[in-house]
Amino acid sequence: MHGSGRHLVYIWLFDSINFNISFKSGPVDRTFCYRAVQLQLYTDSCHQGYVDDYKQGCWSWFEVVILKDANATEPLVRDGKVYSWRSHENRLDSKLDVARHFGVIFDRRAEILDALEPGNCIGVMLCTRFPGWVNDAGEDIFSPMSWTLNTADTPDDIPEAIKDGMYTLTLTTDCYVKSADSNLVSKIWFTTPILDEYTISHIQDIRLFTFAHRQAHASLDSKGTWSWFDLCILESSEATTPKMNQGVRSLVWLSHEISPDATGPGYDINQEGIHFTGQHELISLLKSRDVIGVRVCARFKDWELSTRNGRLVVRISNQGTRRDPRPPKEDWRAVYRANKELQELHRKYMQAFGREWRENGGGVRGVSSLRILDAVMNEVGRQAGTPAPKPCDYFDMIAGTSTGGLVAIMLGRLRMTIAQCMEAYDTLSRSIFDASMLQKAGNANSSGARYSPKGLEDAIKAIVKTYGSAKDGEEIMRDTQDGCKVFVVSCNAKDLSNAPPIHFRTFTNAKVEKSFADYKIWEAARATTAAPTYFPSINLGGHEYVDGGLRCNNPVMNLLTEAALMYGGAGPYACVLTIGTGVASNVALPSSGNNVLTNLWGAAKSGFSLFELSLKTGELQNYFAGPMVGEKAYFRFNVAGEKIAEHFETERSGLFLMNKKEVLYPDNWKDINIDLADWKGMGDFAGKTSDWLKTQQSRIESCASVLRKPTKA
């Protein structure tokens, strides 16, 4: 970002700090706060053009500040702390020439990025102090610095109208030295990049700024100050000792000593070092491939120096001979082509993570789900001006449990139309559940379930023979065609509490231990529909499998997890459609009683309620899945009866039901569901669904509109 126009701050009469917020960003969002890794200011600026005493330092500078919001005119203050950080000073000389100043790099170790909160703004503050000082800035720009501790080449793109470039090499790593005797103890804290002949010939001046302290009490045996900073010439950035001049003299120069005011932890102060100009030996003795190092020093017993951060400011002339254009280090045409190819692959990848659909379990109540899906796909066709498309042509992944699993296999794996699926579903339901009381008793005696598993298996095989590729009905789940992916959910009958749900897939997911894709279609359908008391469990590979609805009656979270494992978690969801088999009435525990009979009856009702609860948790999953996907991409349809508003009812208890109390009942829905095996009630239930759909037309249109957006490559 940048601020256009010219910004000036003057101060003429008083010893006080004057400042002006020259420009600011817009309010930052949470994404910026989490992802921003570096912030830097550079300015094309200058001071008033004359300085009376160079030793007194520069009093024309810039700070980067946090503003509370877009309307704030002063830096944010929290708990007495002003959220402002110095970026850089204007060039200190007697010329009224604009220089380009590169400020401090604020990275993730700096306080400013850690302190930012959503809604804050980042501002640039021009500052001056003492009579006569001026801060004159043109455009201010936040930008990554071109010359850093890890980059040897200074930038070539500074306009010739800018006389100089002021580069701030910043280090925020602590450094500490302590002397135990009269010997010098020192460390090389940081260095410049390797300097080439062009850079050396254009260096105008160098100055070190530090934020440090010494020990609280000096040794009585030493006089003067014995903790200080040096600038030195090194043969390389890995060197630990200064370079020697003709083998006699170390190339080291004092920058500044630690002030007596900076004594002890917590008393760190900012200090400026000696101003080394172009005529100084520090610059004139530099050779190509040398580096300038910052050395931290202490001498004599108990003298120490602890520094928290430092800045080495180097002014490099932008005048005279220009650096020869360097050949590009990269084949940018090849990079461009590779980037385009990568973008196309990324587009396909993100589009693959597009549309998912999952269906609840519910026995013959699956007819309601088919009616809802039929309404959605008909609306897709109406908007597109075409017949209703197959779901397998629009959804990238379909999941289901129990009867929903059976529907998912027919529509996704066998690629049936909804009309074909409805017809097959009706025939299957009649053939399976049209059993007499005597037949149910016989089945229960032989298998513990009311209905024949063979009848279900034969009905599924008949559908596979008609719509699959294996004419014997023994086709496996694994799909050789690349397209809509399907899985159905089942559970391990011997471990319903700890073992994860089982996904019988039509595809291989390399992120899971076993994909269960090589079981036959009828076996996967039997496993997901093996509802206790209705059908017996099925043994596959030595394991007993039962209806997935016992654990995942609404498998939407299974679907989101599977999609994330298959496609990665970065891509957005284009559309997630979930369809239930009817909103059930509230499951409630009975009130506690005050006699043996009431409590025994209450215990029995509690057990039944807990069993009901295991089959009626479908809506709960939507509270988690909806926010994960986003309201514009998440659609949940589940036929519901008449709503019963929150109300009080009178309950009686005790001997002869003499005790009365008012009990508050929350919002509820009139139960319109039919039994899982009530195939004779399917027509009436389908009619109620059609009536309910008339109240959902706007949501159906919105869902269809989202589904029609192209996502597949």
Annotated active-site positions, please?
402, 547
> What length is written for the chain?
713
Mention every residue, 6+ apart, whose C-beta is less than 8 A from residue 251: 232, 233, 242, 243, 244, 245, 281, 282, 285
- In the three-class reduction of DSSP (H, G, I as helix; E, B as strand; rest coil), residue 54 is classed as helix
434-439: list long-range contacts, CB under 8 Å, 24+ apart: 434/679
The DSSP secondary-structure symbol of 80 reads T
CA triple 201-203-207, angle to 5 deg = 155
Q: Taking Cα atoms as reference points, which of 324, 319, 41, 328 lies closest to residue 159?
A: 319
For the record, the structure tokens of 559 come out as 């679907």
Sole residue written with tokens 């461009």: 336
Strand 668-669 vs strand 643-644: parallel, antiparallel, or unpaired? Answer: antiparallel
CB 358 within 8 A of CB 578: yes
Q: Taking Cα atoms as reference points, which of 157, 163, 83, 150 lies closest to residue 123?
A: 83
CB 405 within 8 A of CB 488: yes
Integer Cα distance of 418 and 579 in angstroms = 14
Q: Which residues of 120-157 are buried (b: 16+ CB within 10 A; e: fewer)?
A: bbbbbbbbbbbeebbbbbbbbbbeebbbbeeeeebbee
Helix residue ranges per DSSP H, 290-394? 332-352, 366-384
Integer Cα distance of 115 and 123 in angstroms = 14
- The gap between the terminal CA atoms of the chain, to the nearest Å, is 36
- In the three-class reduction of DSSP (H, G, I as helix; E, B as strand; rest coil), residue 161 is classed as coil
Look at phi and psi of residue 551 and say left if phi exceeds 0, alpha if psi is from -120 to 50, else beta. Answer: alpha
CB 381 within 8 A of CB 390: no
